[in-house]
């Protein structure tokens, strides 16, 4: 018998509604005031249940975190898309519902993914963070991430700066 109330596992099609809800709540909490309201709503509305079903069908790696059987967060991850980092792994997204933030659940999800990259003897892990997202920057800095560069993303006609955090194998 286990008393562990935290479950980390690969997402399944039955999780698509929960993934859409987590994405919506986390994005609205993180980016309200950072992104223009209409742009934010467009981004959130694109990620409904059908989008998540398609992501799973395409083989996107999605890990879901549940607390006491309640879906609380997720992460998407895979090969690093950033050519200038020399990292082989990347966390594309890591989001928690606002009420689960600041309680160690994000760290647990991050560490689980980081450990899976260690098992494959990878060169390291990278994450891109919107520069204006101070809580996310502080989160990744607290996890030992080092800023290795910048990139840019265009949303609704605005060019937004992203910071690239890395965890080389020696710090994993």
Of 95-109, 134-148, 152-166, the least confident: 152-166
d(CA 15, CA 134): 29
Which CATH number does 6-171 carry?
3.40.630.30
* Banded pLDDT at 2 (limits 50, 70, 90): very low
- Residue (of 75, 73, 62) closest to 97 by Cα position: 73
**Euclidean distance between CA atoms 91 and 81, whole angstroms:** 10
Least confident of 28-42, 51-65, 70-84, 137-151: 28-42
Q: How far is CA 33 from CA 27, 36, 133, 172, in A?
A: 11, 7, 10, 34
Structure confidence at residue 95 (pLDDT)? 97
Paired tokens of 9: 């596992």
pTM of the model: 0.91
Average pLDDT over residues 101-111: 96
Q: At what angle do helices 37-45 and 16-31 cross, to 10 degrees?
A: 170
For the chain, what are the domain ranges? 6-171
């Amino acid at each position: 018998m286990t008393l562990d109330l935290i479950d980390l596992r690969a997402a399944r099609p039955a999780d698509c509604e929960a993934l859409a809800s987590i994405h919506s709540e986390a994005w609205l909490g993180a980016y309200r005031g950072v992104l223009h309201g209409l742009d934010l709503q467009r981004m959130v509305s694109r990620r409904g249940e059908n989008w998540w079903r398609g992501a799973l069908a395409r083989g996107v790696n999605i890990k879901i975190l549940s607390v006491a059987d309640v879906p609380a967060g997720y992460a998407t991850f895979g090969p690093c898309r950033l050519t200038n980092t020399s990292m082989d792994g990347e966390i594309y997204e890591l989001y928690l519902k606002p009420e689960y933030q600041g309680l160690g659940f994000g760290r647990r999800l991050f560490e689980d993914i980081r450990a899976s990259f260690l098992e494959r003897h990878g060169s390291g892990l990278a994450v891109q963070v919107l520069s204006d997202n101070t809580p996310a920057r502080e989160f990744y800095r607290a996890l030992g991430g080092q800023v290795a560069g910048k990139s840019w993303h265009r949303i609704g006609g605005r060019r937004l700066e992203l910071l690239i955090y890395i965890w080389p194998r020696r710090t994993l």
